[in-house]
């Protein structure tokens, strides 16, 4: 059973230190069972009943995420989208929500689609402005304020504590997509968030080999029980092998994120001085509009994600991505290998992303190699 330590890096490295009581194994077994035996009197005193509702393999990774996020409980999901959409699907039909203009595009599209079909009402606002949020919330009517910080792919920063206060004053919950920062850098619950979401596909797993999601609740309350029921009845559960791989990935979370942050800061500074780069979007640069808030609510670094705007527009950006040799041209983020992506092509018509923008996910390679490769590709 876990021995408590005050340092999250220690908790992560030891995955809370759980030992298999029957064998002493320091890595717990993978549970593949879909069903569990009842007691002779028809009860389930040992706990689990059926694999869609219960998987003993979830206990350790969920407890670890809860501990790293400083919450009351966590739930694993089959993907980040499954986790995020479970939050919206657990609201009353037709609920009013406020979401950022700049956020993960598939979720923005899903929310907009839900609003078009009348499942919810939404206002998309500039979430870097607390005044804009204050004007958008409808006291007594807004049920949820969704935030993502730093937000994909401009890495704009939301003041989580300020947003939580506005949401709570209006009687709404505050949810934070903490995928880009990870709990290493930001703990939204300490800043007032009610629910924290991760695409665990990204930093939590960190090896580009598992699609997974998680939610962490600040309280084990009625809304949390609704989310638990939404997962079990909706059926978007994580497979056993993916659960095992995710826990293994989380053991190195701190090393990976610390390294990615250091390298991203160096790359951002090098790109800011490059004559073919028109702008660098990274909260770690003092000129970034969200730098001061990020410095307050992120500890130990500004993340491994940044974007550059290439001189010469869309064609020059796409040509730059075509010329890299070390960086991989691929979507996603938060893995050990560095990725580059022309984001406007991915998001398609109507995207708010500038067409000269390349999104960079910094991995754990040597940062000099990464800078040299990008500089050569820029020409
Ligand atoms: C910030 C953010 N949130 C949510 C998601 C969705 O996660 P998944 O792909 O695991 O469903 C992503 C995926 O790219 C993301 O970057």
What ligand 1 atom has the least distance to the C-alpha of 212? 10
Pocket of ligand 1 (CB under 6 A): 79-81, 84, 104, 107, 148, 152, 177, 179-180, 199, 201, 211, 213, 332-333
Residue nearest to atom 14 of ligand 1 (CA): 332
100 backbone dihedrals φ, ψ, rounded to 5°: -75, 150
Could you write out the DSSP letters of every residue in 11-75? HHHTGGG---TTT--SSPPPP--SB-PPPTTS--TTS--BTTT--GGGHHHHHHHHHHHT-SEEE
Residue nearest to atom 7 of ligand 1 (CA): 80
- What pLDDT, in 10s, does the model give residues 313-327? 999 999 999 999 999
Q: Which of 78, 179, 198, 206 is the best mutation target for the ligand 1 pocket, counting ligand atoms within 8 Å of the beta carbon and taking the most?
A: 179
Mean predicted confidence (pLDDT) in 149-168? 98
Q: How far is the CA of 164 from the centre of ligand 1 (A)?
A: 22
- What pLDDT, in 10s, does the model give residues 237-285? 999 999 999 999 999 999 999 999 999 999 999 999 999 999 999 999 9
Check if the beta carbon of residue 69 is closer than 8 Å to that of residue 219.
no
Residue nearest to atom 6 of ligand 1 (CA): 80
Mean predicted confidence (pLDDT) in 45-53? 95
- What pLDDT, in 10s, does the model give residues 86-129? 999 999 999 999 999 999 999 999 999 999 999 999 999 999 99
Q: How far is the CA of 206 from the centre of ligand 1 (A)?
A: 13
Mean predicted confidence (pLDDT) in 23-46? 96
Q: Which of 88, 202, 245 is the best mutation target for the ligand 1 pocket, counting ligand atoms within 8 Å of the beta carbon and taking the most?
A: 202
What ligand 1 atom has the least distance to the C-alpha of 331? 14
Judge whether residue 1 has pLDDT over 50: no
Judge whether residue 6 has pLDDT over 80: no
Q: Sort 168 into a burial class: Cβ within 10 Å, 0-12 / 13-18 / 19+.
A: middle
The confidence band for 183, taking pLDDT boundaries of 50, 70 and 90, is very high
Residue 5: predicted pLDDT: 62
144 backbone dihedrals φ, ψ, rounded to 5°: -150, 135
Q: How far is the CA of 338 from the centre of ligand 1 (A)?
A: 17
Give dist(CA 134, CA 138) in Å, integer. 9
Cα angle value 339/342/347 (rounded, 5°): 115
Residue nearest to atom 10 of ligand 1 (CA): 80
Mean predicted confidence (pLDDT) in 35-54? 96
Q: How far is the CA of 132 from the centre of ligand 1 (A)?
A: 25
- What pLDDT, in 10s, does the model give residues 185-243? 999 999 999 999 999 999 999 999 999 999 999 999 999 999 999 999 999 999 999 99
What ligand 1 atom has the least distance to the C-alpha of 103? 1
Q: What value does the mean pLDDT of the chain take?
A: 97
Residue 246: predicted pLDDT: 98
Mean predicted confidence (pLDDT) in 158-185? 98
Q: How far is the CA of 247 from the centre of ligand 1 (A)?
A: 18
Q: Which of 79, 199, 204, 332 is the best mutation target for the ligand 1 pocket, counting ligand atoms within 8 Å of the beta carbon and taking the most?
A: 199
Structure tokens given for 91: 């609201």
Instruction: Give the N- to C-terminal CA distance of the chain in Å, as an integer.
Output: 55
Structure tokens given for 268: 């951002």
Active-site positions?
A: 52, 104, 177, 202
Q: 335-342 long-range contacts, Cβ below 8 Å, gap at least 24?
A: 335/202, 335/206, 335/207, 335/208, 335/361, 335/363, 336/206, 336/207, 336/208, 336/256, 336/363, 336/364, 337/208, 337/363, 337/365, 338/362, 338/363, 338/365, 338/370, 339/363, 340/374, 342/314, 342/317, 342/318
Report the percent of the chain where pLDDT is more than 90.
98
Structure tokens given for 294: 């990020």
Residue 4: predicted pLDDT: 58
Q: How far is the CA of 202 from the centre of ligand 1 (A)?
A: 8
Which helix (H) or strand (E) segment is 241 a member of?
A: helix 240-250
Residue nearest to atom 9 of ligand 1 (CA): 80
Judge whether residue 2 has pLDDT over 80: no
């Amino acid at each position: 059973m876990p021995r408590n330590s005050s340092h999250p890096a220690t908790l992560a490295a030891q995955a809370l230190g759980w030992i298999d009581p029957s064998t002493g194994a320091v890595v717990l077994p993978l549970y593949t069972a879909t069903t569990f035996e009842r007691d002779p009197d028809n009860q389930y005193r040992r706990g689990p009943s059926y694999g869609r509702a219960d998987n003993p393999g979830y206990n350790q990774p969920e407890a670890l995420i809860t501990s790293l996020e400083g919450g009351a409980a966590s739930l694993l999901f089959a993907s980040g989208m499954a986790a995020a959409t479970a939050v919206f699907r657990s609201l009353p039909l037709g609920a009013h929500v406020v979401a950022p203009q700049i956020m993960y595009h598939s979720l923005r599209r899903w929310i907009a689609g839900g609003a078009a079909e009348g499942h919810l009402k939404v206002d998309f606002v500039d979430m870097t402005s607390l005044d804009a949020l204050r004007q958008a919330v409808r006291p007594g009517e807004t049920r949820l304020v969704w935030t993502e910080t730093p937000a994909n792919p401009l890495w704009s920063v939301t003041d989580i504590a300020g947003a939580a206060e506005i949401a709570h004053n209006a009687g709404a919950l505050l949810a934070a997509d903490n995928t880009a920062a990870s709990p290493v850098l930001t703990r939204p619950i300490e800043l007032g968030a009610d629910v924290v979401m991760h695409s665990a596909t990204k930093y939590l797993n960190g090896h580009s080999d598992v699609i997974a999601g998680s939610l962490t609740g600040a309280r084990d309350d009625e809304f949390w029980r609704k989310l638990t029921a939404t997962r079990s009845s909706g059926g978007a559960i994580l497979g056993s092998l993916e659960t095992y791989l995710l826990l293994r990935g989380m053991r190195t979370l701190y090393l990976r994120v610390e390294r990615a942050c250091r390298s991203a800061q160096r790359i951002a500074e090098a790109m800011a001085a490059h004559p073919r780069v028109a702008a660098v979007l990274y909260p770690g640069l003092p000129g970034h509009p969200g730098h001061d808030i990020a410095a307050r609510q992120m500890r130990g670094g500004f993340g491994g994600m940044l974007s550059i705007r290439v001189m010469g527009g869309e064609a020059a950006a796409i040509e730059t991505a075509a010329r890299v040799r070390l960086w991989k041209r691929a979507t996603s983020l938060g893995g050990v290998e560095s990725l580059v992506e022309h984001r406007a092509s991915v998001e398609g018509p109507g995207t708010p992303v500038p067409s000269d923008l390349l999104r960079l996910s910094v991995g754990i390679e040597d940062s000099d190699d990464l800078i040299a490769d990008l500089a050569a590709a820029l020409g």
